Amino acid sequence: MQNLSLSEAQAQVDQWIKTVGVRYFSELTNMAILTEEVGELARIMARTYGDQSNKPSDLSKNLPDEMADILWVLICLANQTGVDLTEAFYRNLEKKNIRDADRHINNPKLQP
């Protein structure tokens, strides 16, 4: 498996949408789909790492696949709205480094 940059992922999703998917769903539809996919991930997390037990229908769920579904729809939304995810990620990381420089290290709840 090869490494894939966010820019490459955005280009691959765009190519797939334009050749196989016909066109992007509307931004609002994709936002609803993203919410649905996050809910599916939450269900797996609650049953695998939380206190809920699995139902027979839960056993076929796949954690990596659900995470990839979320990433796919998020990339669709980024492409539709003109967001460069690489640039957005680096700006967000810079913001966190400034805002949270001492916040977590000084949080007694996070100390061993």
At 37-46, the pLDDT tens digits run 999 999 999 9
Rounded to whole angstroms, the Cα distance separating 65 from 5 reads 19
Identify the CA nearest to 71 among candidates 43, 23, 34. 34
pLDDT at 41: 96
Report yes or no: 30 and 38 within 8 Å, Cβ to Cβ.
no
Provide the CATH topology of domain 6-82.
Helix Hairpins (1.10.287)
Residues in the chain: 112
Percentage of the chain exceeding pLDDT 90: 79
